[in-house]
Amino acid sequence: MGFGTFKSAKREARVGRNPATGAELKIPALIQPKFVAGKLFKDALNTK
């Protein structure tokens, strides 16, 4: 309780670039996990 929750988020397909060569490449769409910290966890990290 209070630690946080995990959710899923969609990322659209996009065009990326190889930094070494400058070549364009397609990055596919994907579903990626997202973590949202809970209030108790945030408070525990931010106490002095």
How far apart, in whole angstroms, are the C-alpha atoms of residue 18 and residue 8? 27
pLDDT band (50, 70, 90) for residue 47: confident
Complete domains list, the chain, with CATH: 4-45 (4.10.520.10)
Q: What is the C-alpha separation between 4 and 11, in angstroms, rounded? A: 22
Q: pLDDT tens, 18-36?
A: 999 999 999 999 999 999 9
Give percent of the chain above pLDDT 90: 90
